[in-house]
Amino acid sequence: MRYLTFALGKGRLAKTTLKMFEEIGITCEEMKDKDTRKLIFVNEELKLRFFLAKGPDVPTYVEYGAADIGVVGRDTILEEGRNIYEVLDLGFGACRMCVCGPESSRELLQHHEQIRVATKYPKIAKDYFYNKKHQTVEIIKLNGSVELGPIVGLSDVIVDIVETGSTLKENGLMVLEEVCPLSARVVVNPVSMKLEQKRIQRLISNLRDVIAKADAC
Ligand code: PRP
């Protein structure tokens, strides 16, 4: 039996994923050692390998087959646009991709004016404004603290993740339009899906049962 390799987005996402995996009998004790500098962890018994990667790199590892399966946020999947299968919504990490700004920018969106949009997600923003809204915009790529855009006059609006809404509120901004809902997803390499169909399908179905059980509580 060959190893099935998992790429997990570092941080909270990986922690919650591993908890979920434990519920279906997949454990990796090695990974729990906080002091370890190891990058790849093996469960010999189940012939599984795990590694942690930066979120935006997860779809890359999966597309090239360096990982058979990945767990990553839908925002990253949409932004990276890789050739991978999205097979399961894990339900956690739920939030929304939104167009946000001050109340005064609402009108600019309605009248389809040429506006400036600051975002960490240029591909998602471009797709939304060009293909869905048919509005010509100037997209400015930022790497974080995107809410600063409209506050300091860099942009009219932002396209960003809204979870609790408190960052917006504390900075006098609001949701003006919703782009799409987001949450953690399982992605699979298309070739692995064919070669390891049975093992991967069983894994997906077991995870589905865990999600259904949690939903029922
Ligand atoms: C994310 C996102 C928002 C904030 C939303 O930023 O970009 O800024 O969280 O969360 P809230 O609705 O619960 O306030 P993150 O903390 O990842 O940092 P960043 O701004 O550097 O991207």
Could you report the per-residue pLDDT of 143-171, keeping only the tens digit for each?
Answer: 999 999 999 999 999 999 999 999 999 99
Residue nearest to atom 21 of ligand 1 (CA): 144
pLDDT of residue 206: 96
189 pLDDT more than 90: yes
Counting from 1 in the atom list of ligand 1, the atom nearest the Cα of 166 is 14
Which one-letter amino acid corresponds to residue 205?
S
User: Would you give the DSSP letter of residue 163?
Assistant: S
Centre of ligand 1 from the C-alpha of residue 81, in Å = 22
User: Would you give the DSSP letter of residue 36?
Assistant: -
What is the rounded average pLDDT of the residues 193-201?
A: 97
pLDDT of residue 39: 87
Supply φ then ψ for residue 25, to 5 degrees.
Answer: 85, 10
When pLDDT is cut at 50, 70 and 90, the band that residue 203 belongs to is very high
pLDDT of residue 41: 92
pLDDT of residue 169: 97
Q: Are β-strands 184-188 and 174-182 bridged in parallel, bridged antiparallel, or unpaired?
A: unpaired
Residue nearest to atom 19 of ligand 1 (CA): 144
Q: In whole angstroms, give the CA distance from residue 58 to residue 65.
A: 11
Residue nearest to atom 14 of ligand 1 (CA): 167
In terms of Cα–Cα distance, which of 165, 193, 180 is closest to 78?
A: 180
Q: How many other β-carbons are positioned within 10 Å of the β-carbon of residue 96?
A: 17
Counting from 1 in the atom list of ligand 1, the atom nearest the Cα of 146 is 20
97 pLDDT more than 90: yes
pLDDT of residue 113: 81
Percent helix / strand / coil, the chain, rounded to 5: 40, 30, 30
H-only helix segments in 24-53: none
Ligand 1 site residues (CB inside 6 A) read 120, 144-147, 160-167
Counting from 1 in the atom list of ligand 1, the atom nearest the Cα of 163 is 12
Q: In whole angstroms, give the CA distance from residue 204 to residue 214.
A: 15
When pLDDT is cut at 50, 70 and 90, the band that residue 121 belongs to is very high
Q: What is the pTM (predicted TM-score) of this model?
A: 0.94
Provide the mean pLDDT of the chain.
95
Higher pLDDT, 45 or 32: 45
Residue nearest to atom 3 of ligand 1 (CA): 161
The answer to which of 9-18, 27-36, 66-75, 96-105 has the lowest mean pLDDT is 27-36
User: Would you give the DSSP letter of residue 29?
Assistant: G
The answer to which of 37-41, 71-75, 87-91, 142-146 has the lowest mean pLDDT is 37-41
What is the rounded average pLDDT of the residues 101-125?
A: 94
Centre of ligand 1 from the C-alpha of residue 168, in Å = 9
pLDDT of residue 131: 96
pLDDT over 70, % of the chain:
100
In terms of Cα–Cα distance, which of 185, 211, 217 is closest to 24?
A: 211
